[in-house]
Structure 1
Amino acid sequence: MSDSSRDTAQGAGWGPAEPGAYRQLMPDHVEKLSWLNPRTLWAARNGVLASWFGDPTGRTRSRLVALREAAGAPADKVIRREVPDRFSFMVMGDTGEGDAPQYAVVPGFLKMGQDTEFAVIASDVNYPVGAADGYGDKFFRPYQGYPAPIYAIPGNHDWYEDLGAFMRVFCADTPAPAPEPRPRPLTRAWWRALLWHRPRPTDERRLAAARALRPAPAQRAEQPGPYWALDAGPVRIVGIDTGLLGTIDAEQGAWLREVSRGPRPKILITGSPLYVDGEHHPCPIEGGGTVDDVVRAAEHHYVAAIGGDIHNYQRYPVDVDGRLVQYVVAGGGGAFMHATHTIPRVSVAGVTERDFRCYPLRGDSLAFYSRLYGRRLRLPRLFDLTEAAATAVVAERLGIEPARAPDAGTRVTRRTRLVASLLGTGRRPGRAARFRLPVRKIYTQLFSPSSATYSPPFFKCFLRLDVTADAVRLRCFAATGNRAQEVDPPVEDEVTIPLR
């Protein structure tokens, strides 16, 4: 087994390395996604409109589900798969930017996934707005070599065109529902309808050509809707759709409570993680209660909750009334990396730094962002930190033991502390913190993530879950874009989850 980022800097992807073969899988021309482009921002406006004028996704989702049921989808929305007594499946989230970081995940994903029964994409299959024309290079092409079905739950970006393309690809070509009646003039709903981004017409020949890249019957997955449950061997996998704003509607909430009943162990997959960045986000259900209330209820027998949306890996083993539930963030499947060095010293729900895991490691995250800003601002001598210096200053500021010890003799200088403060390490209050540079979602609105991250290491990841009657073995594998990690993907985290 190759070194991981917890073992060596080379295992993290730093230093001289042979580039991976992932570029051979990419199309000849890749359009770089830029959030500075006014056309991109305007097309992705529906999330903002939903927060200002009310979120219509619950009503739209209900109508889409009704269309699926009318077409013969099971009313309980449960997919039942016959699998061997021991089987495996893959999970990755936030895949679909269609650029080098996404394709860098593919060789390792295919290597570790060849003998698995199916895969699940947890959130944001297709950036920036989920349009049908993007599915060729952002879904069908990268995963054409994966031999089994791929199921998905939508993320907020998949909803920016009212989920139309997602329903066509994953839900048996479900058509868009009929337009709703026009709202009364000058109401909030009227303003929303006036400004709403509507789906563009689908190029049917282009979509058919994309589908031809995954033509085998064994590769096809047909879902009963944007939320579903899947029974496989001893476990039930429950996928929920959190829409534009990270909530679920009352109809889906009632289904979730119903499908969660019974003694079968369950794994939740959601577009909005319940524990992330050292905080608890229980995910409200319209009409009362939260998704985490359902997960925590002992009679529902949840053993894990895996969420996308945030583009890295995190794990929180939470003691819930004497039983351990693994809360996982798994959004590192291809989209631009969200920082981990901004995560404060963890103390949430009884989980401490000793129990918490993340990838990339905080020091690697800080080194990654220091180099980004050094290039973008043309100030490398000020910003660029070595991975050893970044690791050392993160340990100092957070008061933690680094997972990978910095090189002997590494000094934390005034410049190192200044860069760490400017880039938000530890979120310490103080004068420098008031001038903190954006390193998370706001960063993607100021700079083009694609143009800044076209060289390894990318710090992407995917999960493999091996299931037996007694336990689930969950492993997080790294994808850096370097050849060494393609040939032998390193394990960045591993946990065995008892089922009995």
Structure 2
Amino acid sequence: MSDSSRDTAEGAGWGTLERGEYKKLMPPRVEKLSWLNPKTLWAARNGVVASWFGDPTGRTRGRWVAQRQAAGAPADKVIRRAGEDTFSFMVIGDTGEGDDSQYAVVPGFLKIGQGTDFAVLASDVIYPVGSADDYGTKFFRPYQEYPAPIYAIPGNHDWYEDLGAFMRVFCDDAPPLAPEPRPRPLTRAWTRSLLWHRPRATDGQHLDEVRQLRSAAGQRAVQPGPYWAIDAGPVRIIGIDTGLLGTLDAEQGAWLREVSKGPRPKVLITGSPLYVDGEHHPCPIDGGGTVDEIVRDPEHHYVAAIGGDIHNYQRYPVRLDGGRTLQYVVSGGGGAFMHATHIIPRVDIAGVTEKDFRCYPLRGDSLAFYSGLYGRRLRLRRFFTLTEAEATAVIAERLGITPARAPGPDARVTLRTRLVASLLGAGGRPDRTSRFRLPVRKIYTSLFSPGSATYSPPFFKCFLRLDVTPEAIRLRCFAATGNRAQELHPPVEDEVTIPLT
């Protein structure tokens, strides 16, 4: 097993290392997605439009579900997989940018995925707007060698074209929805319809051709809709669709309550994580209640809730009344640009402390990565760029923690390293420079960070493997840096055994 980032700097991907062979998997020409491009921003406007003029996602989702049910999909939306009590599956989130950082994950994913029964894509299958034309290079090509079925839940980007391409790929080539009646003039719905982004009439003309890359009988996966449940072995895996704005419609909420009943252990997979960046986001349901209320109910027997959307790995083992521990996991590091972990404050939430909390990349590696980005973009490399050792040392000082990887005796915390850490929001802690803090989380990760995506290692990507027995689930987070060493032997960055009894 290769060293992990918790062991050595080389295990994190730093240093002069041999690049992996993932480039051989990529198409000859790759379009580099830039969120600084006004054309991209305009195409991806539906999230903003929905927040201003009302979110139609719930109504559209209901129409998709009704269409699938009329076509013969099971009313309970449960996929029943026959097999042994022991099985394995993969979870990988926020994959589809189609560039180096996505393809760098593929060799390790295929290696660790050997012998697994299926995989789940947790949120944002395709960037920037879920177009059918992008499925060839961003789904079928990278995962063509994965021999088992792949199920998916949509993320907000898959909804930017009303989920049409997602339904065609994962839901038995569902036909387009019939047009809705025009809204009354000068209403919010009318204004929204004028601004709403819709797919091109020619979108997806080559979809049947690229499907051939994953056409083997064992690769076929047909979902009953954008949300579903899988009964496999001793557990039920439930995937929910949180749409454009991270909420559930009332119909899906009622289904979730019903499908959560019973003593069978359950794992939730969602496009909106319930615990992330040291905060609790319970996910509201239209009409009242939250997803987390359902997950926490002891009568429902959930053991884990895994969410995508945020492009890194985090784990919060929350101990509930009665001595039950629920593992809340963020797993969105499957291919898109990296969201910072160094902005996560010292964790103390729901009884989870720094001793229990895990993240990847480590905060020091995240700070070193972002300092390099700012140094290059602002042409101030000598000022901004921190070594991984300097970044680790200053994070330890700011948060008052013992780092998972010791920075070494020569790592000095200086005025410059403190200033850079403060400007980049390290630890999320306000201080005298906070008024000058650079936009690392809100604006930066929405615009500047994706536009600064790197095309050379380390990428700090990750994916999960879950091995299920009647007694327990073994959950492991594996890293993909883009370097050859981690490509050949993907390191385990976190591991937990979740009892089912």
> Which TM bucket (shorter chain)?
over 0.9
Is the 2:392–2:403 contact (alpha carbons within 8 Å) kept by the matching residues of 1?
Answer: yes
Q: Which amino acid aligns with 1:338?
A: H
Greater Cα shift, 233-242 or 178-187:
178-187
Is the 1:36–1:445 contact (alpha carbons within 8 Å) kept by the matching residues of 2?
Answer: no
1:154, 1:354 → 2: CA distance? 33
Partner of 1:327: 328
C-alpha deviation, 1:177, in angstroms: 1.5
The 3-state SS of whatever aligns with 1:447 is helix
Q: Which amino acid aligns with 1:139?
A: F
Mapped pair 1:222 → 2:222 = yes
Partner of 1:101: 101
Partner of 2:197: 197
Could you report, residue by residue, the CA deviation over 1:339-396 in whole angstroms, capped at 9, with x for unpaired residues? 0000000011000000000000000000000011111111110011010000000010
C-alpha deviation, 1:203, in angstroms: 4.5
Q: Which amino acid aligns with 1:432?
A: T
Q: Which amino acid aligns with 2:473?
A: V
Partner of 1:440: 441
Partner of 1:401: 402
Is the 1:461–1:479 contact (alpha carbons within 8 Å) kept by the matching residues of 2?
Answer: yes
Partner of 1:369: 370
Could you report, residue by residue, the CA deviation over 1:223-257 in whole angstroms, capped at 9, with x for unpaired residues? 00000000000000000000000000000000000
Q: Which amino acid aligns with 1:463?
A: L
For the structure 1 residues 441 and 211, does the alpha-carbon distance in structure 2 shift closer, same or farther, using more than 3 Å as the test? farther
Counting only pairs closer than 5 Å after superposition, residues 296-375 of structure 1 correspond to structure 2 as: 296-321=296-321, 322-375=323-376
Mapped pair 1:174 → 2:174 = yes
For the structure 1 residues 233 and 137, does the alpha-carbon distance in structure 2 shift closer, same or farther, using more than 3 Å as the test? same
1:299, 1:445 → 2: CA distance? 39
Is the 1:83–1:117 contact (alpha carbons within 8 Å) kept by the matching residues of 2?
Answer: no
- Could you tell me the TM-score, scaled by structure 1's length? 0.99
Partner of 2:143: 143
The 3-state SS of whatever aligns with 1:222 is coil
C-alpha deviation, 1:202, in angstroms: 4.2
Flag structure 1 segments of 5+ consecutive residues without an equivalent.
Answer: none
2:73, 2:141 → 1: CA distance? 27
Q: Which amino acid aligns with 1:156?
A: N
Is the 2:339–2:445 contact (alpha carbons within 8 Å) kept by the matching residues of 1?
Answer: no
Is the 1:34–1:447 contact (alpha carbons within 8 Å) kept by the matching residues of 2?
Answer: no
Is the 2:35–2:451 contact (alpha carbons within 8 Å) kept by the matching residues of 1?
Answer: no
For the structure 1 residues 313 and 448, does the alpha-carbon distance in structure 2 shift closer, same or farther, using more than 3 Å as the test? closer
2:406, 2:452 → 1: CA distance? 31
Percent of aligned positions with the same letter in both sequences?
81
Partner of 1:158: 158
2:394, 2:57 → 1: CA distance? 44
1:132, 1:218 → 2: CA distance? 23
- Could you tell me the TM-score, scaled by structure 2's length? 0.98
Mapped pair 1:429 → 2:430 = yes
Is the 2:263–2:300 contact (alpha carbons within 8 Å) kept by the matching residues of 1?
Answer: yes
Could you report, residue by residue, the CA deviation over 1:125-183 in whole angstroms, capped at 9, with x for unpaired residues? 00000000000000000000000000000000000000000000000111221111111
Partner of 1:493: 494
C-alpha deviation, 1:82, in angstroms: 1.4
Is the 2:89–2:119 contact (alpha carbons within 8 Å) kept by the matching residues of 1?
Answer: yes
C-alpha deviation, 1:445, in angstroms: 4.6
Superposition RMSD in Å:
1.0
Q: Which amino acid aligns with 1:358?
A: C
Partner of 2:86: 86
Greater Cα shift, 434-443 or 259-268:
434-443
Q: Which amino acid aligns with 1:200?
A: R
Q: Which amino acid aligns with 2:69?
A: E
Counting only pairs closer than 5 Å after superposition, residues 269-288 of structure 1 correspond to structure 2 as: 269-288=269-288
Partner of 1:187: 187
Could you report, residue by residue, the CA deviation over 1:203-227 in whole angstroms, capped at 9, with x for unpaired residues? 4541112101111011011000000
For the structure 1 residues 145 and 29, does the alpha-carbon distance in structure 2 shift closer, same or farther, using more than 3 Å as the test? same
Is the 1:393–1:420 contact (alpha carbons within 8 Å) kept by the matching residues of 2?
Answer: yes
Q: How many residues align?
A: 500
Partner of 1:479: 480
For the structure 1 residues 106 and 186, does the alpha-carbon distance in structure 2 shift closer, same or farther, using more than 3 Å as the test? same
Greater Cα shift, 120-129 or 401-410:
401-410
Partner of 1:249: 249
The 3-state SS of whatever aligns with 2:299 is helix
2:436, 2:105 → 1: CA distance? 34
1:157, 1:42 → 2: CA distance? 13
1:452, 1:228 → 2: CA distance? 33
Q: Which amino acid aligns with 2:392?
A: T
1:329, 1:61 → 2: CA distance? 24
Partner of 1:37: 37
Is the 2:337–2:453 contact (alpha carbons within 8 Å) kept by the matching residues of 1?
Answer: no
C-alpha deviation, 1:83, in angstroms: 2.5
For the structure 1 residues 45 and 8, does the alpha-carbon distance in structure 2 shift closer, same or farther, using more than 3 Å as the test? same
Partner of 1:415: 416
